[in-house]
Amino acid sequence: MIFSTFTFILLFLPIVFSLYSASLYFGRIQLSKIVLIIASLVFYAYGSGDFFIVFVIAVILNYFFGIGLSKAINKSKMQRLMLLWIAISLNLALLGYYKYTDFVLFNINIFIEHPIEYQNIILPIGISFFTFQLIAFLVDSYKGETKGYAPTDYLLFITFFPQLIVGPIVHHKDVVPQYQGLKKSAPDLSRISPGIFLFAIGCAKKLLIADPLSEWAQKAFDVAGELNSIESWVASLSYTLSYYFDLSGYADMAIGLGMIFGIALPINFNSPYKARNFADYWRRWHMTLSKFLGDYIFRNVYDKTKGSLNFYFALFVTFFVSGFWHGAGWTFVLWGIINGAFVIMSHMMIRANRSLAFPIAWTLTFIGVISTRVLFVANDFDDAAHVLLKMFSFSDFANTIQLATLQPLYLLVGMGLVLFFPNSNAMVKSFKPSYIYAISTSLLLLASFLNMSYVRGFLYFQF
């Protein structure tokens, strides 16, 4: 189910919110949690097909692994580590089967005479995101940090529908105490109003900006080998902006929904295209993913006693894993490696106490972001190479170009919003119930409704 649809906004959300609020109003705390769990499972089942049963089994199985790890705290380290790695391996095996089977077969077929037939396995929605949450839960259960989690609190941590599919990636420490602290209460307009406002912003980002830019960019990359210099830049910039508005739009809607239900979800984007270097960029982009990778990859590789080389190696490993996690293809791996290299160079300059003037630093960073995005969205290395060569080849800038009529306007608006306007987090912080905010929210929702007849899936939906 997609947030930015009539079904979700006019049917699913009102029913779930009414049942949840009524349960809290009458002090039925456990019932309110069960309402959210059932609603979240219905939400996931709506678009997950046959994988739904596998998802439920995986979630339940991980709960029992977590209990086992928590209770085994006094057993030998070897026994606990073995149980932990069995549990993590099962999660990675599930992710690997659905996400990487054909990638493995592709690489095997390069070296054998009779190619193995590809399985064409459909990637389940949200599997990359909830797998990370489950692994974090298991690791912290091993450390004894998840004791006392009731089944309903655990299930809500994993399945809470606003963040289930595309994040933000939620750590159990962030949300389980909130579920444990639910109490009898009436609907609170002081949290519902800004939540609706933030949801409206996210919906508008998705439908009014991200979707048109994605459609135009995809049409261009479908014929990537035919693009000239200007078309290559426009298509790449269109995708760069569309990814931000798509992902941050989803995050805004998810966080806004969390506020409506009285649950604070973590911020996921903080004006990343205002960054002056790649280290700054990755502190602002998909912040919950960066935090997870920092906590569970970087910190397990980095050893403070081994100096700068180990620090840079830990960064490289972290971004290699990030690239591989993002997609089953060597273009994604190279994307991760190049991002890691840029982050390492940023830290080298920081440690050397050197910096460029902000306009130069920002320009180089943003060009780097656009260039690496080409690797992320291109069908293969050939398409990526052609687009990148055209972007930095000025011989055919005067050639005839083919652009959608409104595309330049959307790019100007998109750039204006990401560079010169406060982000949605800042807008919500300054939110005060007033006619201006009520009118703004209504106009954003109305404009979104008018563009809801056809909705593109979120770019990270099956990821």
pLDDT at 459 over 80: no
Identify the burial level of 336 via C-beta atoms within 10 angstroms of its C-beta, where 0-12 means exposed, 13-18 middle and 19 or more buried. Answer: buried
Identify the burial level of 391 via C-beta atoms within 10 angstroms of its C-beta, where 0-12 means exposed, 13-18 middle and 19 or more buried. Answer: buried
pLDDT at 397 over 70: no
Q: How far is CA 269 from CA 177, 247, 275, 407, in A?
A: 23, 9, 12, 24
pLDDT at 463 over 70: no
**What does the alpha-carbon distance between residue 24 and residue 185 come to, in Å, rounded to a whole number?**
6
Instruction: Report how far Cα 428 is from the mean position of its chain's Cα atoms.
Output: 20
Mean pLDDT (the chain, rounded):
91
31-57 exposure pattern, b = at least 16 Cβ within 10 A, e = fewer: ebbbbbbebbbebbebbbeebbeebbe
**What does the alpha-carbon distance between residue 51 and residue 267 come to, in Å, rounded to a whole number?**
29
Q: For residues 284 and 316, is the Cβ–Cβ distance under 8 A?
A: no
Q: For residues 233 and 217, is the Cβ–Cβ distance under 8 A?
A: no
Lowest mean pLDDT among 258-267, 287-296, 391-400: 391-400
**What does the alpha-carbon distance between residue 399 and residue 13 come to, in Å, rounded to a whole number?**
50
For 211, half-sphere exposure in the C-beta direction (CA atoms, 13 angstrom radius) is 18
**What does the alpha-carbon distance between residue 170 and residue 179 come to, in Å, rounded to a whole number?**
13
Q: What pLDDT digit, counting tens, does each position of 307-320 carry? A: 889 999 999 999 99
Residue 335 three-state SS: helix
What pLDDT is attached to residue 384?
92
**Nearest CA-CA partner of 175 in 187, 185, 184, 167:** 167
Q: What pLDDT digit, counting tens, does each position of 70-115 carry? A: 887 778 888 889 999 999 999 999 999 999 998 899 899 888 878 8
**What does the alpha-carbon distance between residue 286 and residue 277 come to, in Å, rounded to a whole number?**
16
What pLDDT is attached to residue 48?
83
**What does the alpha-carbon distance between residue 188 and residue 169 come to, in Å, rounded to a whole number?**
26
Q: How confident is the model at residue 247 (pLDDT cuts 50, 70, 90)?
A: very high
Please give the structure tokens belonging to residue 135.
């692994």
pLDDT at 283 over 70: yes
What pLDDT is attached to residue 461?
64
What pLDDT is attached to residue 383?
92
Please give the structure tokens belonging to residue 350.
């920081």
Q: ∠ CA(74), CA(78), CA(80), 5° rounding?
A: 50
Catalytic machinery residues: 326
Q: What pLDDT digit, counting tens, does each position of 350-380 carry? A: 998 998 999 999 999 999 999 999 999 998 8
Q: How confident is the model at residue 405 (pLDDT cuts 50, 70, 90)?
A: confident
**What does the alpha-carbon distance between residue 389 and residue 224 come to, in Å, rounded to a whole number?**
11
pLDDT at 402 over 70: yes
Q: How confident is the model at residue 199 (pLDDT cuts 50, 70, 90)?
A: very high
Q: Mean pLDDT across the stretch 199-228?
A: 92
Q: For residues 45 and 162, is the Cβ–Cβ distance under 8 A?
A: no
At 200, give phi and psi (nearest 5°): -65, -40
What pLDDT is attached to residue 359?
94
Please give the structure tokens belonging to residue 204.
């508008």
**Nearest CA-CA partner of 195 in 122, 107, 254:** 254
Please give the structure tokens belonging to residue 26.
């009458």
Q: How confident is the model at residue 237 (pLDDT cuts 50, 70, 90)?
A: very high
Taking the domains of the chain in order of start, what are their residue ranges?
Answer: 6-187, 190-450
At 461, give phi and psi (nearest 5°): -60, -50
CB atoms under 10 Å from CB of 315, counted, come to 24
Q: What is the DSSP string of 401-433?
A: ----TTHHHHHHHHHHHHHHS--HHHHHHT---
Write the CB contacts of 48 (distance below 8 Å, at least 6 apart in sequence): 55, 124, 125
What pLDDT is attached to residue 228?
87
pLDDT at 392 over 70: yes
Q: How confident is the model at residue 120 (pLDDT cuts 50, 70, 90)?
A: confident
pLDDT at 203 over 70: yes
Q: What pLDDT digit, counting tens, does each position of 134-152 carry? A: 999 999 998 888 877 899 9
Amino acid found at 356: L
**What does the alpha-carbon distance between residue 27 and residue 252 come to, in Å, rounded to a whole number?**
29
**Nearest CA-CA partner of 201 in 15, 431, 461, 454:** 431
Percent of the chain with pLDDT over 90: 66
What pLDDT is attached to residue 226?
87
216-245 exposure pattern, b = at least 16 Cβ within 10 A, e = fewer: bbeebbeebeebbbbbbbbbbbbbbbbbbb
Match 């159990």 to its residue by tokens. 172
**What does the alpha-carbon distance between residue 144 and residue 136 come to, in Å, rounded to a whole number?**
12
